[in-house]
Amino acid sequence: MANAQPPAGGPRGPRPGRSPLQALIYWTLVLGVWALIFVVAFFAVFSVDLPDTSKLYDVKRQPSISYLDRSGGLVAVRGSQYAPPVDLNKLPPYVPKAFVAIEDRWFYWHFGFNPWGIVRSQAYNWTHKRGGPLRGGSTITQQLARALFLTPNQTYRRKAQELILAVWLEAKFSKKQILELYLNREYFGEGAYGIEAASQRYFNKPAAELTLGESALLAGLMKGPSRYSPVAATDRAARRATIVLDEMVRIHAITPQQRDEALKAPVRVNPVLANQRAQYFTDWVDDQVRHLVGEPTEDLVVETTLDLPLQASAEQTIQTDVVAAKPQGVQQAALVSLDGEGRVRAYVGGVNYLQSQFDRATQARRQAGSSFKPFVYLTAIEAGQTPDTPVVDEPITIGTWTPRNYTGKYLGPITLEIGLKESINTVAARLANEVGTSNVAATAHRLGIVSPIQLDPSMALGAVEVSPLEMAQAYAPFSNGGVFAKAYAIERIRTASGRMLFDHSMGNDQRRAVIGQPALSYMIRMLRQVIASGTGTRANVKGYDLAGKTGTTSDYRDAWFMGYTGGFVTAVWVGRDDNTPMKKVTGGGIPAGIWHDYMVQVLPRLKTELIPGAEAPPTEETSSDAISQIISGVNDLLHGDHEADSAPPKPASRPSAQIRPSQEEAPH
Positions annotated as catalytic residues are 103, 370
* Residue at 142: amino acid letter: Q
SS3 percent helix, strand, coil of the chain, rounded to 5, is: 45, 10, 45
* Residue at 449: amino acid letter: I
Whether 501 contacts 633, CB under 8 Å: no
Whether 102 contacts 220, CB under 8 Å: yes
* Strand duo 65-68 + 300-304: pairing: parallel
The DSSP string of 505-553 is GGS-----B-S-TTHHHHHHHHHHHHHHHSTTGGG--TTS--EEEEEEB
The closest alpha carbon to 304, from 488, 501, 506, 486, belongs to 488
The DSSP string of 169-180 is HHHHS-HHHHHH
Q: Tell me how far CA of residue 90 lies from CA of 87, 96, 182, 203, in angstroms.
A: 5, 11, 15, 18
Residues 6+ apart with CB under 8 A from 127: none
Whether 356 contacts 342, CB under 8 Å: no
The closest alpha carbon to 150, from 169, 124, 174, belongs to 169
* Residue at 548: amino acid letter: G
* Residue at 306: amino acid letter: L
Whether 611 contacts 585, CB under 8 Å: no
Q: Please give the distance of CA 640 from its chain centroid, rounded to a whole number.
A: 36
Instruction: Give the end-to-end CA distance of the chain in Å, rounded to a whole number.
Output: 126
The closest alpha carbon to 357, from 489, 186, 226, belongs to 226
Q: Quote the Cα angle for 84-89-91, to 5°.
A: 65
How far is the C-alpha of 104 from the C-alpha of 182, rounded, in Å? 12
How far is the C-alpha of 104 from the C-alpha of 280, rounded, in Å? 38
Whether 474 contacts 444, CB under 8 Å: yes
Give me Rg for the CA atoms of the chain.
Answer: 35
* Residue at 622: amino acid letter: T
How far is the C-alpha of 148 from the C-alpha of 179, rounded, in Å? 13
Q: Tell me how far CA of residue 44 lies from CA of 47, 313, 373, 516, in angstroms.
A: 6, 63, 74, 80
- What's the longest Cα–Cα distance across the chain? 154
